[in-house]
Amino acid sequence: MRILIIEDEEKTRKYLAKGFESQGSKVTQTADGEAGLQLALQNDAYDIIILDLMLPKISGLTIIEILRQRGCSIPIICLTARNSVDDRVKGLEMGADDYLVKPFAFSELLARVKALLRRGKNKKDILITIADLNIDLKKRIVIRAGETISLTSKEFNLLALLASSEGEVFSRQSLMEKIWDINFDTDTNVVDVAIKRLRKKVDKPFSKPLIHTIRGIGYVLDEEER
């Protein structure tokens, strides 16, 4: 497992590096956001990124935003000292895959890392085809009408879930639990934001929409108009 740790607190960074190395992982670590971003842009160099949100030079949230805009799909786990729902939701909306609030046990972080990587490996080697949309679950490639669509890791997972159950309506809460693995006690618009971004890439450039809103319930991917 190849891990990039971007954390400015030296004690925490070394603690994490030591923990992952003891598990046989190859660890790269840096203390500032600017250097971390340049390392992270080496898209094939790492299996996962452990990212502190409060960093010198470039913030963790900015790093997430830039990486996802550039099509980087490496899973990202955020570390934050802030325990507010708003802060966590903002990171998830930008494309983070998970978060941990400091202080935390290394065993919990390790479990979350393994769970994220396991999800990627457990995808079945199948191709989903709906209308002119093709999704390769193994290669994580999306093609519509012959055009390859670049998606973030979270966007791909969301599309794959909707497509694998064509015609099934998913509630916002269900999508939050299945894709973000989080059950918030308060209303958030993280799902709506993700769907909006997904539609912009998968539906908007094409004549026929596939992602539909079921008012008061949630979302569905279906070839038929809703």
The DSSP line for 4-44 is: EEE-S-HHHHHHHHHHHHHTT-EEEEESSHHHHHHHHTSTT
Note the pTM of the prediction, 2 decimals: 0.61
For position 225, what pLDDT does the model report? Answer: 76
For position 221, what pLDDT does the model report? Answer: 95
Whole-Å CA distances, 177 to 37, 171, 185, 226 = 29, 10, 12, 24
Q: 12-68: per-residue pLDDT in tens?
A: 999 999 999 998 899 999 999 999 999 998 866 898 999 999 999 999 999 999 998
Q: Which residues contact 172 (CB under 8 A, 6 or more apart)?
A: 191, 192, 218, 219
Q: 54-104: per-residue pLDDT in tens?
A: 999 999 999 999 998 887 878 999 998 876 677 778 888 888 999 898 899
For position 37, what pLDDT does the model report? Answer: 95
Q: 188-198: per-residue pLDDT in tens?
A: 788 999 999 99
Residues 219, 213: contact at Cβ < 8 Å?
yes
Of 38, 158, 163, 42, the closest CA to residue 95 belongs to: 158
Domain positions in the chain: 2-121, 127-221
19 bridge partner residues: none
Of 43, 4, 7, the closest CA to residue 26 belongs to: 4
Residue 34, token pair as written in the block? 């600017």
Of the chain, the percentage scoring pLDDT greater than 90 comes to 54
SS3 label, residue 56: coil
For position 158, what pLDDT does the model report? Answer: 95
CATH code matching the domain that covers 2-121, chosen among 3.20.20.70, 3.40.800.10, 3.40.50.2300, 3.40.190.10: 3.40.50.2300
What class, spelled out in words, does domain 127-221 have in CATH?
mainly alpha
For position 43, what pLDDT does the model report? Answer: 60
For position 82, what pLDDT does the model report? Answer: 73
Q: 175-217: per-residue pLDDT in tens?
A: 988 888 766 555 678 899 999 999 999 999 998 999 999 998 8
Rounded to whole angstroms, how far apart are CA atoms 68 and 17? 25
CB atoms within 10 A of CB 17: 18
> Which pLDDT band, with edges at 50, 70 and 90, does 124 fall under?
very low
Average pLDDT, the chain: 88
If you average pLDDT over residues 153-174, what whole number do you get? 90
